[in-house]
Amino acid sequence: MIMDDKKRTEISQLGEFGLIDKLTADFKNGNAHTKLGVGDDAAVIDAGRGLLLLSTDLLLEGIDFDLTYFPLKHLGFKAVVVAISDILAMNGTPEQLTLSIGVSAKFGVEDLQQLYDGVRVACEEYGVDLVGGDTSASVTGLTLSMTAVGRVEKRRVAYRSGAKLNDLICITGDLGAAYMGLHLLEREKRAFEGHANPQPKFEGYEYLLRRQLKPVARLDIIEALRAADIVPTSMIDLSDGLASDLLQICKSSKCGARIYLNRLPISRETYALAEELHADPVVAALNGGADYELLFTVPLAMQEQVMALGGIDVIGHITAESTGAMLVTPDGSDIALTAPGFK
Ligand code: ADP
Ligand code: MG
């Protein structure tokens, strides 16, 4: 499909086992707890001490990604980020990953090799071992299912349910850029529908594209928190959007929240494209999703320590459950946060 002019090898030429061997050949296990990866009926992981974390995610073509503008290598990278982000959100270290793929006839071996190149780059970057998966034919499009395994010391695990009254609400990175990047890609796709040689215009918005096409998992933050011996009272990764994810914390922790609009970290590029599209950058920040940044709470007394880590913004604090979750505008009015729900 993607590889019009280049070599195309049919999957049937390799067969299922040949394909798996080819795709997994360049992966090397690096974690001490990975006793056996690809090649047997099951991967073998040393349970060690502490808590084992397990999380699974599904990505469907046409629902979660569009291959007209999502390069397969980037998709492979993103699949790893999506999977390990949930382990990070428990304050854990991701160690192993399985990736199962459902593949339709439009994909050749070279396409899947690109996908796995992206998976490998991400695995190397985040120190995760690909230890297995499953491979099957599918009728329509590409399906990716990832299961991530991670580990955390008992005293460091961060649940959604631990936020306490007056805790600070902290956020990493900036919000809404991935969503604006998606808008840009969709706009250019519509403009060039049917063109043989599309020349989309992305100048000035590279940051937004990168946030959409090559998201970052915040392993660096988890490591920095550990090094500073800071244990968040609660944590969640920002996959659905700040409003929805903060409401999850409030629901699990039986608390309310006050966040301040003028403290939301929003990039210059997000503002610029929002203006161009007559969209609201704050809506992008609150409801956009797919930022894969971390939202966490810490006791008020830890403000200085947390700020010293860098790259973290305090956007508000935890309140009593009865007050609900509120966004405070610069003129001092309160707007109740709502989750737009399942997209
Ligand atoms: P089984 O029939 O026991 O499920 P498979 O032939 O499906 O075994 O898989 C053989 C090995 O290859 C297993 O270790 C499995 O985890 C791994 N594997 C299969 N498909 C993939 C894939 N798409 N990516 C990574 N590893 C895979
Ligand atoms: Mg199998």
Going by alpha carbons, the residue nearest to atom 9 of ligand 1 is: 134
Is the dihedral angle over the CA atoms 114, 116, 120, 121 positive or is it negative?
A: positive
Please report how many Cα atoms fall inside a 13 Å half-sphere around the Cα of residue 228, on the Cβ side: 19
Alpha carbon 191 to chain centroid, angstroms: 28
Task: Domain ranges for the chain, please list them.
Answer: 32-153, 160-336
Q: Is the CB of 41 under 6 A from ligand 1?
A: yes
Verify whether ligand 1 is closer than 6 Å to residue 270 (CB atom). Answer: no
Same topology, domains 32-153 and 160-336? Answer is no
Nearest-atom number in ligand 1 for the CA of 134 is 20
Q: What is the pLDDT along the chain (343 residues), one digit of tens a residue?
A: 554 557 899 999 999 999 999 999 999 999 999 999 999 889 999 998 999 999 999 999 999 999 999 999 999 999 999 999 999 999 999 999 999 999 999 999 999 999 999 999 999 999 999 999 999 999 989 999 999 999 999 999 999 999 999 999 999 999 999 999 999 999 999 988 888 888 888 889 999 999 999 999 999 999 999 999 999 999 999 999 999 999 999 999 999 999 999 999 999 999 999 999 999 999 999 999 999 999 999 999 999 999 999 999 999 999 999 999 999 999 999 999 998 754 4
Rounded (5°) CA angle 308-251-265: 35
Neighbours of 171 (CB within 10 A): 26
Burial per residue of 113-138, b for 16 or more beta-carbon CB atoms within 10 angstroms, e otherwise: bbbbbbbbbbbeebebbbbbbebeee
Query: Which tokens is 160 given?
Result: 């959604």
Ligand with an atom nearest the CA of residue 20: 1
Q: What is the pLDDT of residues 6-24, one digit of tens each?
A: 789 999 999 999 999 999 9
Residue 343: what pLDDT?
44
How far is 98 from 56, CA to CA, in rounded Å? 9
pLDDT of the residue at 199: 82
- List helix spans (H) across the chain: 11-24, 72-88, 109-126, 177-191, 206-213, 219-227, 242-253, 268-276, 281-287, 303-308
CA of 147 to the centre of ligand 1 (A): 13
Q: Is the CB of 132 under 6 A from ligand 1?
A: yes
Q: Identify the nearest ligand to the CA of 19 by its number.
A: 1
Ligand 1 contact via 147 beta carbon (within 6 Å): no
Residue owning the nearest CA to atom 5 of ligand 1: 134
Hey, whose CA ends up nearest to atom 15 of ligand 1? 132
Q: How far is the CA of 133 from the centre of ligand 1 (A)?
A: 5
DSSP-assigned letters across all residues of 151-194:
EE-GGG---GGG--TTPEEEEES-SSHHHHHHHHHHHHHHHTTT
Mutate to test the pocket of ligand 1, among 23, 26, 36, 38 (most ligand atoms within 8 A of CB): 38
CATH number of 32-153: 3.30.1330.10
Q: Is 255 helix (H, G, I), strand (E, B) or coil?
A: coil
Minimal-distance CA residue to ligand 1 atom 2: 41
Pick the CATH number of 160-336 from 3.40.50.300, 3.20.20.140, 3.90.650.10, 3.40.630.30: 3.90.650.10
- Tell me, using a 6 A CB cutoff, whether residue 101 lines ligand 1: yes
Atom of ligand 1 nearest to the CA of 39: 14
Residue owning tokens 């790893």: 80
Give the closest ligand to the alpha carbon of residue 101. 1
